[in-house]
């Protein structure tokens, strides 16, 4: 009994910690992506900055992949464990048991994983639309030149340097101009929102932050946060579909 309880506690902690990291990534990623509304230059500079991180980017990717792998393996383990254990064997106070539908978590999780494979082939390796690999943009780098007044930024002829970078803005806009792709993204991010709002409640419970007063508050915060994430992500494909974004590329 104790052995199983230990496994259960460790597994739930692995779920909570890996989920927390994935949540931080998802939040950071959407904030980065929302810069697309500021403009092409800002978005492409941000994409180029990420690429320039080099080894650091790979460290982040490895942590991300490990978190994802452990999150999935542990969720399957917990699912199998739950299938084999009668509910009355739990001795832990569980204010949320009735609210969190673990079956829906598994299914939204599987669909998000499928989306992620598509998404990486779409925007990272760009194998779904190989033409995206060749989207490039020429941009100007201002040179600091001394003036009588001190240092000033000048774009005078001969002083700005032309450089080439990947046109991530055009890639995202063209990617979402396909209504089937956009609808697929919209469905996926709605499922992500549902998954996050359930997962956050579950994570607080696992970390022992629950109680008759605290839990209803956490449920509200989790639903608001999941909804925010879904709306923030889906605003991009929706804006492209309705022509609010990418008109003047």
Binding site for ligand HEM (CB under 6 A): 26, 29, 33, 47, 50-51, 57, 61, 112, 116, 119-120, 123-124, 168, 172, 185, 189, 192, 233, 236-237
The sign of the CA dihedral 182, 187, 189, 190 is: positive
CA distance 142 to 153: 6
Minimum CB separation from ligand HEM for residue 207, in Å? 22
Nearest residue (CB) to ligand HEM, 132 versus 204: 132
CA distance 74 to 116: 18
Nearest-CA neighbor of 57 among 19, 23, 29? 29
Minimum CB separation from ligand HEM for residue 145, in Å? 32
Answer left, alpha or beta for residue 146, where phi above 0 means left and psi between -120 and 50 means alpha: beta
Nearest residue (CB) to ligand HEM, 237 versus 246: 237
Nearest residue (CB) to ligand HEM, 204 versus 233: 233
Count CA atoms closer than 13 A to 143's CA, side-chain side. 12
Minimum CB separation from ligand HEM for residue 33, in Å? 5
Q: Cα 114 to chain center, whole Å?
A: 14
Nearest residue (CB) to ligand HEM, 123 versus 139: 123
The structure tokens listed for 69 are: 């792998």
CA distance 93 to 210: 9
Continuous H helices in 126-247 = 168-177, 179-206, 214-241
Minimum CB separation from ligand HEM for residue 26, in Å? 5
Minimum CB separation from ligand HEM for residue 36, in Å? 7
Nearest residue (CB) to ligand HEM, 4 versus 136: 136
Nearest residue (CB) to ligand HEM, 61 versus 103: 61
Minimum CB separation from ligand HEM for residue 61, in Å? 5
Nearest residue (CB) to ligand HEM, 169 versus 204: 169
Nearest-CA neighbor of 143 among 156, 132, 127, 131? 156
Minimum CB separation from ligand HEM for residue 179, in Å? 14
Q: What are phi and psi of 180, to 5 degrees?
A: -65, -45
User: How far from 140 is each of 137, 147, 152, 153, 165, CA to CA, in Å?
Assistant: 10, 20, 16, 12, 11
């Amino acid at each position: 009994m104790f052995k199983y309880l230990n496994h259960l506690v460790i597994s739930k902690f692995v779920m909570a910690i890996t989920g927390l990291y994935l949540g931080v990534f998802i939040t950071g990623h959407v904030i980065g992506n929302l810069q697309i509304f500021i403009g092409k230059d800002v978005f492409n500079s941000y994409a180029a900055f990420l690429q320039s991180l080099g080894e650091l980017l790979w460290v982040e990717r490895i942590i991300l992949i490990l978190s994802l792998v452990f999150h999935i393996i542990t969720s399957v383990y917990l699912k199998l464990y739950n299938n084999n254990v009668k509910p009355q064997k739990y001795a832990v106070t569980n204010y949320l048991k009735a609210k969190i539908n673990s079956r829906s978590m598994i299914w939204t999780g599987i669909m998000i994983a499928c989306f992620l494979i598509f998404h990486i082939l779409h925007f990272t390796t760009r194998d779904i639309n190989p033409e995206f690999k060749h989207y490039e943009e020429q941009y100007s780098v201002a040179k600091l030149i001394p003036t009588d007044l001190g240092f000033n930024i000048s774009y005078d002829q001969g002083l700005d340097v032309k450089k080439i970078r990947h046109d991530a803005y055009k890639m995202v806009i063209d990617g979402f101009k396909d209504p089937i792709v956009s609808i697929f993204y919209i469905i996926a991010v709605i499922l992500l929102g549902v998954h996050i709002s359930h997962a956050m409640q579950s994570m607080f419970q696992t970390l022992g932050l629950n109680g008759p007063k605290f839990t209803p508050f956490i449920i509200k915060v989790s639903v608001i946060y999941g909804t925010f994430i879904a709306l923030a992500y889906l605003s991009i494909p929706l804006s492209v579909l309705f022509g609010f974004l990418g008109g003047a590329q």
